[in-house]
């Protein structure tokens, strides 16, 4: 099948690689002149790493990724440990922490090696969906024909806008109150600061919780870097850009001047920071076009707050289910496959979005000494808790073992196999 992927970000490149491996003819259209990896560290959770391994990407991740043994919750002001979530047997698959740009580089290489063609400077301005496929129109008069189109063009997706406009709807990104500042510091620089010792102990995923602010960080041992994401709630400014590669490090130090010594030490060392705002898009009625030959996935379909560390992992699930259906249900029409894909992906992703939003509220809520656990409770929290016998449940409380198991040990392809799919007519 001739497939066009719009967007050469992480989602688009992963889609290109995975589908090219199945001998589809893949063309990736990217409006920028080169790869553009924005943001610092990110997670690939067990629910997604299971598929990355099955796709033969294990060696690449082994070279750049560190596994996260625990999650630590600390007080933003004092640095005091509140909770050590040391859970074992959540999944047999790894919980990876990686740098976004490192992952993008190897995904691009593997996609091209698998046979995908990536065209840079290819800006899509329109498309025409027929009864058997799609014609994509480019800015400079160039066009591409496709049997199927996957749009992975991000939070400001032009394809999403066009699909919704065709049905008399709109869902423009709305700027939230969440602003994030990312810094990265070489480990050897942090070692010079006595106050930074707590940041260098283990490759934990650590969250410092405060009021209207929080910091998420981890030590990347293989990269020799400490990455910190400083998040604060502030009212958006009209006309403000979503992304500013050169954030104001002086302002960041001022905003977080009252934090614990270890984080102040990190801010004192950092010479620059990235800055970006989180935009929110409401749950969409559809991720597929009216005739079913175009889909949106990843941030184009379901952007979410980073506080569940599930954004890219949900995109990987999207791709895994799509690849499975195209490979095993190839006798069915593309619209039948895309409708079914949408029906099984939307409920889970919308639940994960709510979970991420709830975590954002938790991380930036009122946290004082009364909320912190006692020394006895801290000792209990340091004991490993096996989730092997826990039954996963999407209806369990967000912070429960059952819900965590459902989030992290979910097999999206297994769920797709359990469903039934019939030939469907295009949506009226």
Q: Using the 8-state DSSP alphabet, how is residue 129 labeled?
A: E
pLDDT of residue 379: 46
pLDDT of residue 387: 79
Look at residue 380 and tell me whether its pLDDT is greater than 50. no
Question: Which residue would you say has higher pLDDT here, 338 or 400?
Answer: 338
- Quick check: is 58 in a domain? yes
pLDDT in tens, 74-110: 899 999 987 766 566 788 999 999 999 999 999 999 9
Mean pLDDT, range 321-343, rounded to an integer: 95
- What are the CA-CA distances from residue 327 to residues 74, 295, 331, 334, 421 (Å)? 46, 17, 9, 12, 14
pLDDT of residue 173: 84
Coil vs helix vs strand at 189: helix
Angle at Cα 204 formed by Cα 203 and Cα 207, nearest 5°? 135
Q: How confident is the model at residue 363 (pLDDT cuts 50, 70, 90)?
A: confident
Residues 190-197: contacts with CB under 8 Å, at least 24 apart = 190/226, 190/265, 190/266, 190/269, 193/265, 193/266, 193/268, 193/269, 195/261, 195/262, 195/264, 195/265, 196/262, 196/265, 196/266, 196/269, 197/262
Mean pLDDT, range 18-47, rounded to an integer: 92
Q: How confident is the model at residue 177 (pLDDT cuts 50, 70, 90)?
A: confident
Contact status, residue 98 vs residue 184, Cβ threshold 8 Å:
no
Cβ-Cβ contacts under 8 Å for 103 (sequence gap 6 or more): 10, 42, 44, 64
Mean pLDDT, range 139-151, rounded to an integer: 96
- Quick check: is 386 in a domain? no
In the sheet that 143-146 helps form, which strands lie side by side, from edge to edge?
124-129, 134-138, 143-146
Q: Is 345 exposed, middle or buried (0-12, 13-18, 19+ CB in 10 A)?
A: buried
Q: Is 236 exposed, middle or buried (0-12, 13-18, 19+ CB in 10 A)?
A: middle
pLDDT in tens, 381-423: 555 567 778 899 999 999 888 999 999 999 999 989 887 665 5
* DSSP secondary structure of 138-186: ETTS-EEEESEEEE---TT-HHHHHHHHTTT-----EEEEEEEEEEEEE
pLDDT of residue 114: 98
Contact status, residue 280 vs residue 303, Cβ threshold 8 Å:
yes
pLDDT of residue 241: 64
In the chain, pLDDT over 70 holds for what percent of residues? 89
Look at residue 16 and tell me whether its pLDDT is greater than 70. yes
Tell me the pairing of strands 41-44 and 25-30.
unpaired
- Quick check: is 84 in a domain? no
pLDDT of residue 346: 97
What is the number of structural domains in the chain? 1
pLDDT of residue 375: 44
pLDDT of residue 86: 59
Q: Using the 8-state DSSP alphabet, how is residue 425 labeled?
A: P
Distance CA 284, CA 92 (A): 33
Contact status, residue 28 vs residue 12, Cβ threshold 8 Å:
yes
- Quick check: is 76 in a domain? no
pLDDT of residue 62: 94
Mean pLDDT, range 47-71, rounded to an integer: 94
CB neighbourhood size of 95 (10 A): 24
pTM given for the model: 0.92
Q: How confident is the model at residue 126 (pLDDT cuts 50, 70, 90)?
A: very high
> For the chain, how many helices (H) and strands (E)?
13, 21
Residue 104, token pair as written in the block: 């993008």
Segments forming the whole domain that contains residue 105: 2-65+98-172+281-364+392-418
Mean pLDDT of the chain: 89
Residue 78, token pair as written in the block: 């004092």
Look at residue 376 and tell me whether its pLDDT is greater than 70. no
Q: How confident is the model at residue 368 (pLDDT cuts 50, 70, 90)?
A: very low
Distance CA 111, CA 19 (A): 9
Distance CA 420, CA 340 (A): 9
* CATH code for the domain in which residue 136 is found: 3.50.50.60
- Quick check: is 127 in a domain? yes
Q: How confident is the model at residue 290 (pLDDT cuts 50, 70, 90)?
A: very high
Look at residue 425 and tell me whether its pLDDT is greater than 80. no
């Amino acid at each position: 099948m001739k497939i066009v992927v719009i967007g050469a970000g992480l989602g688009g490149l992963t889609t290109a690689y995975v589908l090219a491996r199945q001998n589809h003819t893949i063309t990736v259209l990217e409006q920028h002149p080169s790869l553009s990896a924005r943001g610092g560290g990110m997670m690939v959770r067990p629910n997604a790493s299971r598929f990355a391994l099955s796709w033969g990407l294990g060696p690449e991740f082994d070279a750049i990724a560190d596994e996260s043994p625990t999650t630590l919750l600390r007080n933003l002001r004092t640095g005091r440990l509140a909770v050590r979530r040391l859970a074992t047997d959540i999944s047999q698959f790894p919980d990876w922490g990686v740098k976004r740009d490192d992952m993008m580089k190897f995904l691009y290489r593997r996609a091209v090696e698998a046979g995908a063609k990536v065209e840079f400077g290819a800006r899509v301005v329109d498309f025409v969906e027929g009864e058997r496929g799609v014609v994509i129109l480019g800015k400079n008069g160039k066009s591409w024909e496709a049997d199927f189109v996957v749009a992975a063009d991000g939070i400001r997706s032009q394809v999403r806008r066009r699909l919704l406009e065709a049905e008399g709807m709109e869902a423009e990104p709305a700027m939230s109150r969440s602003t994030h500042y990312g810094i990265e510091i070489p480990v050897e620089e942090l070692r010079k600061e006595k106050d930074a010792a707590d940041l260098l102990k283990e490759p934990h995923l650590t969250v410092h919780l405060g009021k209207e602010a929080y910091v998420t960080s981890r030590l990347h041992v293989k990269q020799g870097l400490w990455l910190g994401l400083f998040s604060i709630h502030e009212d958006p400014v009209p006309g403000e850009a979503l992304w500013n590669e050169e954030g104001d490090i002086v302002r960041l130090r001022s905003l977080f001047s009252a934090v614990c010594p270890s984080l102040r030490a990190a801010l004192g060392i950092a010479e620059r920071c990235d800055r970006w705002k989180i935009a929110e898009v409401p749950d969409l009625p559809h991720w597929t076009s009216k005739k079913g030959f175009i889909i949106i996935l990843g941030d184009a379909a379901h952007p979410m707050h980073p506080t569940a560390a599930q954004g890219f992992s949900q995109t990987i699930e999207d791709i895994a289910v799509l690849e499975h259906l195209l490979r095993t249900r190839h006798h069915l029409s593309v619209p039948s496959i895309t409708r079914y894909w949408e029906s099984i992906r939307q409920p889970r992703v919308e639940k994960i979005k709510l979970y991420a939003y709830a975590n954002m509220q938790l991380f930036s809520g009122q946290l004082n000494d009364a909320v912190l656990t006692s020394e006895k409770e801290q000792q209990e929290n340091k004991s490993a808790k096996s989730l092997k016998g826990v039954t996963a449940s999407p209806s369990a409380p967000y912070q429960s073992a059952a819900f965590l198991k459902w989030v992290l040990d979910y097999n999206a392809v297994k769920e797709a196999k359990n469903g039934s799919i019939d030939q469907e007519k295009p949506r009226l």
